[in-house]
Amino acid sequence: MIGRGRLWVAVWVLLLGAEVGADPAIGRRLAALRALVAPAPASLRAGRAAPFSEPCATGAGWRRIPGGLRAQTLAAVHDASLRFGVDAALIRSVIREESAGNPDAVSSAGAMGLMQLMPGTAAELGVVCAFDPRENVMAGTRYLRRMRDRLGSWRLALAGYHAGPGAVEGGRLSATTHRYVERVLRRWGQGRGARDHATR
């Protein structure tokens, strides 16, 4: 039986080897996953399942299904819209603004996937692989719905999604967040079935 120390060495050798000559998307995924190798938060050490327990840096499932990424994303948006009561056009607008539809996107702050989930948020929502299009969209939509229920309007929900609810409640929104909200609302307003964005 392989010892724990040897197993970790083997894993790191494989990861380092995979990065050599790998495409940029795989490199970004590996970097994001390495950033997660840190002591678990107290809440996780207390007994909750560890986030990202399965490797997801390679073999994106959307490449193996009919229609590929677009089909999987649209299906996820449809299902998330029905499950969480969020207009599908708004979800698509957030995806467009957050990642331009790239499931491999990783921001400089470490946000991942189509709806740019931060590691802490993803862990809180029970996400295993933030780069999986369906899992990302379902979790991101759930979080957006949570912001709407907490803050009272879609405009404020988008601000909370971008900057965190504390920044909204404390009146500490930056010009960057205000521009983000206006871009998402404008794009949503161009979609079918859009509502009164600022108040609903």
Name the residue ranges covered by the structural domains of the chain.
4-189
Count H helices, E strands: the chain?
A: 10, 0
Query: Distances in Å between the alpha carbon of 112 and those of 78, 123, 126, 161?
Result: 21, 12, 14, 14
What pLDDT score was predicted for residue 180?
97
Phi, psi of 59 (to 5 degrees): 70, 50
What pLDDT score was predicted for residue 9?
43
What pLDDT score was predicted for residue 81?
97
Strands (E) located in 14-82: none
Active site residues: 98
Q: Answer yes or no: pTM beyond 0.85.
A: no
- For 4-189, CATH number? 1.10.530.10
What pLDDT score was predicted for residue 69?
82
What pLDDT score was predicted for residue 127?
92
Let me know if 96 is exposed, middle or buried by CB neighbors in 10 A (0-12, 13-18, 19+). middle
What tens digit of pLDDT does each residue of 102-153 get? 998 999 999 999 999 999 999 999 998 999 999 999 999 999 999 999 999 9
All residue ranges of the chain with pLDDT < 70 are 1-67, 191-200
What pLDDT score was predicted for residue 71?
87
DSSP 8-state assignment for residue 188: H
